[in-house]
Structure 1
Amino acid sequence: MESQKSICTKYNSVFNPTNEQLFIGIATDLKLEPINGLRHPEHGTMNGWYIWSGEWSDSDDFFKPIHAEHLIEKKPEILKYLSLDIGFRFQIDSKGYEDVWFDEKLKNI
């Protein structure tokens, strides 16, 4: 929790914890870099987070649902970003690159 609060403070985001009972949309196996994430509002059984690596696709089946706890087991370095508020995006890699920014358009989808 402290690392999540720290990231929110660093990037001027409201602390908005992810509902771990809902699903995150994940694409690819996240072995490529960088890893990208964006947060929409919650909808249905999805908590709003969509995470991918490699090339983006507009395909309807690009993202598959996964519970937050399973994603955290697979890629624990993502955990600290999951309390960023709706509208935030991040991009990270294993060499320490980190970019976090707010994208107003994400709030209206």
Structure 2
Amino acid sequence: MQKAESTYPDESQKKICDKYGMPVQPPEEMVAVAVESLGQSPIYGTRVQLPDGGNVSWFIHCGEFSPSDDFYKPVHVHHLSEMLPEVLNYLCLPTGAKFIIDTAGYEDVWMAQ
């Protein structure tokens, strides 16, 4: 499993994990982002078990979800600082974690059942 470069975790990411009592798990180099949904609110993130041979465990979209096969696009984690900087603090949440955030300061983080 490839992890992103050693910039993870930073202090803000550790604080989010500590706040919700979750272990720190640095992200892989690639994430899946619904690029067409950028700019909508709220922002949803789900970290799934990394599939065998896979390189993406984070799936992130904004606004309404679409079941379309091409909804998510692979994005290098370092592009998130430009595309979707709001999610950076959540990237070290562990497998099974989910989050919802919005531009008004709403935040919810939990583990999937």
| TM-score tier (shorter) | 0.7 to 0.9
Structure 1: unaligned runs, 5 residues or longer = 105-109
Counterparts of residues 66-77 of structure 1 (less than 5 Å): 66-77=75-86
Asked whether the 8 Å contact 1:25–1:46 carries over to 2, the reply is: no
Structure 1 residue aligned with 2:33, among 26, 37, 57? 26
SS of alignment partner, residue 44 of structure 2: strand
Structure 2: unaligned runs, 5 residues or longer = 1-9
Counterpart position of 2:58? 49
SS of alignment partner, residue 75 of structure 2: strand
Counterpart position of 1:93? 102
Counterpart position of 2:6? none
Structure 1 segments of 4+ aligned residues over 3 angstroms from their partners? none
Q: What's the RMSD between the two structures over aligned residues? A: 1.3
Size of the aligned set, in residue pairs, is: 102
* Equivalent position amino acid for 2:32 in 1: G
**Among the aligned pairs, what percent are the same residue?**
47
Query: Cα distance, 1:74 vs. partner?
Result: 1.5
TM-score where L is the length of structure 1: 0.86
Asked whether the 8 Å contact 1:36–1:92 carries over to 2, the reply is: yes
Asked whether the 8 Å contact 1:26–1:50 carries over to 2, the reply is: yes
